[in-house]
Amino acid sequence: VAGASMWAGQRHWNMESIYEYGARAGFWRLHRLFTALQIPVTIYGVATALARAPEQVAAMQAAGWEIASHGLKWVEHKDMPEAEERAAIAEAIRLHTEVTGERPRGWYTGRCSVNTVRLVTEEGGFDYISDTYDDDLPYWIEAGAREQLIIPYTLEANDMRFATAPG
């Protein structure tokens, strides 16, 4: 079912249950493990998903985890007009701040456009951006008049590798 297409005009129960598993069971299993071992955690949270998961947000906060932003919604930004993407970034920050009580310090879209890193850098409020995969170590970039810390994302810890070829 992983990678299945939407069903036009109807719900895809199997796909919904895959995403529901994370909030219902997977999150709590990992929360127990990481808190028991006192492992520091950064969560990349989609703002609309965080808004629908107040118990999980409270548990993350109680554990002292960083909740970074993973954008407003799980959508592809590749062909999104720049003004629309800028507005989505602003709304993600607003909703994230409303839900968690704090502005996100980090950002990782993961489904970027050619404008994403520049737009997030121009927004100016992030300690780091993780929308690159090009190094093992953090580094700085210049974007316009700003310098921005880049902490490259690693796919080693992403479950996506189990759902896509070569797996």
- pLDDT for 17 equals 86
By three-state DSSP, how is residue 156 classified? helix
Q: Which residue in this structure is represented by tokens 């992983």?
A: 2
- pLDDT for 64 equals 98
Going by C-beta distance under 8 Å and a sequence separation of 6 or more, which residues neighbour residue 79? 113
- pLDDT for 18 equals 80
Domains in the chain: boundaries: 9-39, 42-157
Computed from CA positions of residues 6, 21, 49, 42, in that sequence, does the dihedral angle turn out positive or negative?
negative
Q: Which CATH architecture has domain 42-157?
A: Alpha-Beta Barrel (3.20)
Q: Which residue in this structure is represented by tokens 């808190």?
A: 35
Residue 50, CA atoms < 13 Å, CB-side half-sphere: 29
Q: Which of 136, 78, 145 is nearest to 109 (CA)?
A: 78
Structure tokens of 165?
A: 């070829």
- SS3 string, 69-96, reads ECCCCCCCCCCCCHHHHHHHHHHHHHHH
- pLDDT for 167 equals 54
Please count the other Cβ atoms lying within 10 Å of the Cβ belonging to residue 145: 8
- The structure's pTM equals 0.89
Per 3-state DSSP, what percentage of the chain is helix, strand, and coil (rounded to 5)?
Answer: 45, 15, 45
Q: What is the mean pLDDT of each run of 10 residues along the chain (167 residues)?
A: 75 83 92 98 97 98 98 94 98 98 97 94 94 95 90 83 65
- pLDDT for 165 equals 67
